[in-house]
């Protein structure tokens, strides 16, 4: 053994002992020794020191770790370069962090680091338009090492001509085979496609079925779907069987394969060897539509538009037609316009939305005419024109579209584009309500309740609120609860009020959640429960309802239904105050004045009292005067007397009841 080799062996032994000491928890000492070796230019010590520092989790150590990784990487240490990529990605901020870190991963791959090459294959091997210049080379290297994933992705690349490679069906077939023989289900599916279509190999249905079955057994959803289709068409050697086809479609659909979900939806829709069910058809169309499968989007869109197995819901249908619209689907034109108008799944673009609505309207689609009218009315994507709005809305209403009738009723009620005509508004609203449109039923109930366009009838108001509420319209449920609370028409029934209020609250209606919480606080219609009150106040507060935020703050401040928590009280009081909620502003001012949950600050207290006073809040008005007087005459006895006269605890309790 030469002296130099003996020296290297000894140093490697020292570094290994150092690594073990570090792993046993002797970190400070190990770092100190490693730093000594690393400063001498020893590349393995630099890499080890980087690992030690990175593992501490401290930001300053992370920067030091990056330095030593960089030193080792500059000496050609591939693993250090890969580690530098990972650490940079974890610790560097900014939108370009990935691109900056990628420089180090690329260097590691270029130095022959197998893991770096594999990471490139993993990250980019299935990105067809990837511009990584050496990706094809990395794929070949990883595939040559026998990696099944790399073989599969290289097969894709040759199959489709990705990453600068020329299409080569024969090479793709060979790579699929290599990966498939290692048990890769996706590669086995690819082989099935090759045999079914004769790509790179002679067409052979039996081999196609064989590989589809192999892949299907290993859980390939695509293969399960194609095996199902093979049964549906009777691909040799299989006998035609819709029962078997549905069985495989279902297995694939359960794995979220969109085509299988669509095919299973068709089986339910048309009763193909399975009991016909619109509801189940829509269920599978919906799952496929969520994956942007165009045919399923159109089918489910039609279901929601026509009420085929589901309640009418244009908002849901609108989400389904985006892709279909660009393919020229007539109903998709309207629904894609709606998406563009509202930014559902696509970037908001009002002029484009107007063009799609117009195209669908000119084909006579009533729902498109109604939405086109809305754009004219709002001046969204087109110059505001109320005359055009009325024209198109009337066209849709005359076709019997309930939503258009309700909207035209609103225009007549408010004199928008037409003379005010409450009677006509009532007629249109009634027509829509009688078609079962929940929002129209709620509107009609309001008109009966207030005697607008019709003789006042609380009995009819109750009936229509009930109809809308039973369809699940949260605002109608809340209105119905109010009628039971007041007992103005129906016999007062606080239990019923609580029932309907809870239904609305459970749908996320913030006002109903806040009102239900109040009922639990006071034991109105329900057993008194501060815990339930807290839950519902929190639900409403998290939706941004200022009154709920204030009441939630009160509960935390006073320890009602929860342990006293001044931090949470301050947080929610701030949230409500920022929405200009006067009671919360006074509460916050009181907290600053008395140093409750915050450092005492008269400046902050006065500022918030003034905000509350500007809204007529009595405590705010009194407190501004009091604190200004205190500043002018800061005698302790004067300040003490004024604070006693405006004890905030009593005011807050009173305000809670008033605001809710």
DSSP string, 444-486: HHHHHHHTSSS---HHHHHHHHHHHHHTT-HHHHHHHHHHHHH
**Residue 128 binned pLDDT confidence (cut-offs 50, 70, 90):** low
Task: Answer whether residue 226 is part of any domain.
Answer: no
Q: Which helix (H) or strand (E) holds 59?
A: helix 59-74
Region of poorest pLDDT, from 191-200, 481-490, 562-571: 481-490
Encoding tokens for residue 266?
Answer: 């068709």
Q: What is the CATH number of the domain that holds 646?
A: 1.25.40
User: What percent of the chain has a predicted confidence (pLDDT) above 90?
Assistant: 56
What CA–CA distance (Å, rounded) separates 587 from 602?
14
Which residue, 112, 140, 174, sits at the end of a domain? 112
Residues 6+ apart with CB under 8 A from 486: 492
DSSP state for residue 165 in the 8-state scheme: P
What CA–CA distance (Å, rounded) separates 321 from 259?
17
**Residue 525 binned pLDDT confidence (cut-offs 50, 70, 90):** very high
Task: Answer whether residue 415 is part of any domain.
Answer: no
Q: Which domain holds residue 566?
A: 553-659
* pLDDT score at 46: 82
User: Does the pLDDT of residue 649 top 50, yes or no?
Assistant: no
* pLDDT score at 126: 62
User: Does the pLDDT of residue 443 top 60, yes or no?
Assistant: yes
Read off the pLDDT of each residue in 373-378 and give the average, rounded to a whole number: 91
What CA–CA distance (Å, rounded) separates 5 from 11?
10
**Residue 659 binned pLDDT confidence (cut-offs 50, 70, 90):** very low
Higher pLDDT, 629 or 530: 530
Question: How many other C-beta atoms lie within 10 A of the C-beta of residue 491?
Answer: 7
pLDDT, tens digit (0-9, with 9 covering 90-100), for 59-95: 888 888 888 888 888 888 888 888 888 888 788 777 7
User: Does the pLDDT of residue 533 top 80, yes or no?
Assistant: yes
What CA–CA distance (Å, rounded) separates 260 from 437?
34
* pLDDT score at 634: 54
* pLDDT score at 451: 95
User: Does the pLDDT of residue 169 top 90, yes or no?
Assistant: yes
What CA–CA distance (Å, rounded) separates 395 from 406?
13
Contact 296, 349 (CB under 8 A): no
What CA–CA distance (Å, rounded) separates 530 from 563?
11
Question: How many other C-beta atoms lie within 10 A of the C-beta of residue 571?
Answer: 16
Task: Answer whether residue 645 is part of any domain.
Answer: yes
Of 548, 465, 458, which Cα lies nearest the Cα of 505? 548
Of 220, 239, 292, 299, which Cα lies nearest the Cα of 263? 299
Which residue, 112, 134, 153, sits at the end of a domain? 112
Task: Answer whether residue 218 is part of any domain.
Answer: no
**Residue 641 binned pLDDT confidence (cut-offs 50, 70, 90):** very low
**Residue 658 binned pLDDT confidence (cut-offs 50, 70, 90):** very low
* pLDDT score at 652: 32
**Residue 221 binned pLDDT confidence (cut-offs 50, 70, 90):** very high
Whether the bond into 237 is cis, omega within 30 of 0: yes
Read off the pLDDT of each residue in 486-502 and give the average, rounded to a whole number: 90
Q: Is the pTM of this model over 0.75?
A: no
Q: What is the CATH number of the domain that holds 10?
A: 1.25.40.10
pLDDT, tens digit (0-9, with 9 covering 90-100), for 332-362: 788 788 777 876 656 788 998 999 999 889 9
Task: Answer whether residue 183 is part of any domain.
Answer: no
Of 515, 518, 541, 547, which Cα lies nearest the Cα of 530? 518
**Residue 596 binned pLDDT confidence (cut-offs 50, 70, 90):** very high
Q: What is the mean pLDDT of the chain?
A: 86
Number of domains in the chain: 2
What CA–CA distance (Å, rounded) separates 612 from 622?
10
* pLDDT score at 381: 93
Which residue, 57, 83, 112, sits at the end of a domain? 112
Rounded (to 5) percent helix, strand, coil in the chain: 75, 0, 25
Higher pLDDT, 505 or 286: 505
What CA–CA distance (Å, rounded) separates 232 from 230?
5
Contact 554, 560 (CB under 8 A): yes
* pLDDT score at 291: 85
Of 244, 218, 220, which Cα lies nearest the Cα of 232? 244
Give the CA distances from residue 336 to residues 175, 316, 345, 348, in Å, rounded to whole numbers and listed in that order: 41, 12, 10, 11
Higher pLDDT, 637 or 198: 198
* pLDDT score at 346: 66
DSSP string, 529-597: -HHHHHHHHHHHHHTT-HHHHHHHHHHHHHTSSS---HHHHHHHHHHHHTTT-HHHHHHHHHHHHHTSS
**Residue 121 binned pLDDT confidence (cut-offs 50, 70, 90):** low
Read off the pLDDT of each residue in 429-439 and give the average, rounded to a whole number: 95
Task: Answer whether residue 639 is part of any domain.
Answer: yes
Task: Answer whether residue 184 is part of any domain.
Answer: no
Task: Answer whether residue 445 is part of any domain.
Answer: no
Encoding tokens for residue 487?
Answer: 């007992």
**Residue 590 binned pLDDT confidence (cut-offs 50, 70, 90):** very high
């Amino acid at each position: 053994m030469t002296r130099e080799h003996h020296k290297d062996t000894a140093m490697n032994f020292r570094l290994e002992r150092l690594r073990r000491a570090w792993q046993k928890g002797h970190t400070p000492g190990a770092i100190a020794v490693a730093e000594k070796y690393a400063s001498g230019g020893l590349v393995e010590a630099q890499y080890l020191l980087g690992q030690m520092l990175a593992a501490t989790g401290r930001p300053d150590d992370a920067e030091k770790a990056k330095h030593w990784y960089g030193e080792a990487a500059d000496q050609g240490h591939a693993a250090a370069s890969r580690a530098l990529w990972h650490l940079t990605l974890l610790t560097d901020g900014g939108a370009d962090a990935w691109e900056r870190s990628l420089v180090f991963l690329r260097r590691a791959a270029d130095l022959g680091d197998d893991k770096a090459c594999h990471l490139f294959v993993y990250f980019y091997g299935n990105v067809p338009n990837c511009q990584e210049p050496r990706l094809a080379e990395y794929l070949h290297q990883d595939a040559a090492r026998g990696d099944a994933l790399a073989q599969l992705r290289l097969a894709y690349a040759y199959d489709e001509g990705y990453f600068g490679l020329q299409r080569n069906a024969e090479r793709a077939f060979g790579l699929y085979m290599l990966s498939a023989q290692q048990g890769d289900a996706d590669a086995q599916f690819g082989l099935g496609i090759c045999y079914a279509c004769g790509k790179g190999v002679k067409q052979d249905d039996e081999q196609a079925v064989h590989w589809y079955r192999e892949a299907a057994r290993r859980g390939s959803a695509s293969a399960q779907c194609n095996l199902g289709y093979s049964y549906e068409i009777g691909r040799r050697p299989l006998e035609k069987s819709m029962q078997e086809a549905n069985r495989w479609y279902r297995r694939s659909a359960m794995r979220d394969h969109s085509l299988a979900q669509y095919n299973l939806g068709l089986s339910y829709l048309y009763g193909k060897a399975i009991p016909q069910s619109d509801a189940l058809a829509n269920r599978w169309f919906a799952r496929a539509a969520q994956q942007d499968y165009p045919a399923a989007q159109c089918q489910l869109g039609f279901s929601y538009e026509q009420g085929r197995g589901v309640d009418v819901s244009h908002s849901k249908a609108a989400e389904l037609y985006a892709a279909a619209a660009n393919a020229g689907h007539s109903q998709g034109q309207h629904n894609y316009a709606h998406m563009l108008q509202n930014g559902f799944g696509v970037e908001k673009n009002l002029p484009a939305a107007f063009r799609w609505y117009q195209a669908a309207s000119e084909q006579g689609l009533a729902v498109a005419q109604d939405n086109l009218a809305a754009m004219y009315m709002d001046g969204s994507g087109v110059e505001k024109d109320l005359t055009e709005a009325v024209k198109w809305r009337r066209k849709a209403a005359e076709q019997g579209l309930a939503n258009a009738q309700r909207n035209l009723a609103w225009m007549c009620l408010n004199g928008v584009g037409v003379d005010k005509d409450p009677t006509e508004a009532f007629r249109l609203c009634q027509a829509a309500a009688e078609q079962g449109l929940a929002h129209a039923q709620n509107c009609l109930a309001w008109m009966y309740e207030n005697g607008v366009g019709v003789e006042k009838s609380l009995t009819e108001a109750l009936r229509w609120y009930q109809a809308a509420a039973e369809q699940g319209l949260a605002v109608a449920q809340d209105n119905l609860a109010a009628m039971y609370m007041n007992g103005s028409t129906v016999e007062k029934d606080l239990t019923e009020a609580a029932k309907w209020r809870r239904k609305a609250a459970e749908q996320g209606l913030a006002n109903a959640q806040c009102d239900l919480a109040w009922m639990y606080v006071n034991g109105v219609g329900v057993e008194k429960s501060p815990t339930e009150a807290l839950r519902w106040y929190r639900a409403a507060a998290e939706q941004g309802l200022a009154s709920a935020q204030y009441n939630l703050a009160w509960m935390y401040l006073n320890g009602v239904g929860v342990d006293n928590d001044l931090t949470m009280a301050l947080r929610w009081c701030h949230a409500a105050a920022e929405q200009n909620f006067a009671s919360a502003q006074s509460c916050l001012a009181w907290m600053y004045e008395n140093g409750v949950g915050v450092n005492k600050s008269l400046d902050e207290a006065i500022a918030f009292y003034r905000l509350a006073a500007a809204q007529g809040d009595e405590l705010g008005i009194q407190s501004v005067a009091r604190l200004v007087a205190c500043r002018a005459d800061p005698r302790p006895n004067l300040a003490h007397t004024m604070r006693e006269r405006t004890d905030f605890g009593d005011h807050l309790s009173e305000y809670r009841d008033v605001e809710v």
